[in-house]
Homo-oligomer: A and B are copies of this chain.
Amino acid sequence: MPARTGRPPKISRADIVSAAHRLIEAEGTESLTMRRLAREVGTTPMALYHHVHDKEELLLLLLDDYAAAMSRPVLPDEPGERMAAAAIAMHEALAGVPWIVDVLRADDLLSVNALWYPETIIDAAVRAGLPLERAVDAYRIIWHYTAGEITARAAALRRREEGRPTYRRQVFAALDAEALPRLAEVGGRWEELTARDTYGEGLRALVAGLLLKGLATGGPSVKRSGPDDQMD
C-alpha cells in the first residue's frame, strides 16, 4: 500500500460525475450547475474544482461515459458506405445529448471512448484508397460538417422551445425581391424547407466528393493504395 498523505478526500471524480448524471436525469440539463451539483454531492462548489478543471471538463467526462455506453453499428464493407455508416452513427450518438453544444467547442471529439468513430472513418477512408493524411483530412471535414449540423439542430430546437418571433419571418417580410430573387422565390417556405433533416444527404454527397478524386488539391489525381476503386 502506497500510503497517501494529505487530507483524505471526501468526494471523488466518480462521485461528481455520477451525481451529475443523476441530476441531469432527474431535473434536466439546465439544472446542472456547479453550485447545484455541489449541493447534490454534499460539498461546496469550489471543492468540485479540485477534481475537475472546469465545467467543460466535467461535460467531457459525461460525454465519455455516454460514448462508452453507445452501441456500435454493423458496418458495410464498401468503403464509402462504411464511412457514411460510421459518421451517421456518430451523428446519432451526438444528436441525443442535449448539452452537446457546450462541448463541441472543446476539441475534435476526442473523448477517449468516442475514438472509435474517427478510427473507423479514417480506416474506411484508407480502405477507399486515400493516403493516411488525406484520410485524416476527410475525417476532419466530416467532423466539421457533423458538428455544424448538430449545432444548427440544437439551435433550431432551442428556438422552437423559446417560441421567439424567429427573426426569419421578419427577414423574409422585408426582403428585396429584386436583389434576392431566389430567397424571395422560396419565401415563406423557408421555415418548412429548413425543418427537414438533411444530414444523411449531405453526408453522402460529402463522402462521394471526398472519394471522387482522392481529395485532389488542385494538382492531378492522387495515388491509390487499395484495390477498391470504382469511380472515375
Does chain B have a CB within 8 A of A112?
A: yes
Does chain B have a CB within 8 A of A171?
A: yes
Binds B, one of A8-16, A41-49, A148-156: A148-156
Question: Would you call B135 and A182 a contact (CB within 8 A)?
Answer: yes
Copies per complex of this chain: 2
Question: Would you call A183 and B148 a contact (CB within 8 A)?
Answer: no
Does chain B have a CB within 8 A of A232?
A: no
Question: Would you call B193 and A155 a contact (CB within 8 A)?
Answer: no
Minimal beta-carbon separation of A27 from chain B (angstroms):
23
With A151-B147, A171-B112, A205-B206 given, is the CB distance from A198 to B107 under 8 Å? no
Partner of A167, one of B110, B136, B143: B110
Q: Give the most central of A166, A174, A212: most B CB within 10 Å.
A: A212
Question: Would you call A149 and B144 a contact (CB within 8 A)?
Answer: yes
Question: Would you call A107 and B215 a contact (CB within 8 A)?
Answer: no
Q: How many Å lie between the Cα of A49 and that of B162 in the bound state? A: 18
Q: How many Å lie between the Cα of A202 and that of B177 in the bound state? A: 32
CB-CB under 8 A from A119, the residues of chain B are 179-183
With A132-B182, A137-B198 given, is the CB distance from A144 to B148 under 8 Å? yes
Does chain B have a CB within 8 A of A70?
A: no
Taking A112-B171, A148-B149 as given, write out 17 further A-B residue pairs in contact, using a Cβ cutoff of 8 Å, ordered by the A residue number.
A107-B155, A107-B166, A115-B183, A119-B180, A119-B182, A123-B181, A123-B182, A132-B182, A137-B198, A144-B145, A144-B149, A144-B202, A145-B145, A145-B206, A201-B217, A205-B206, A205-B215
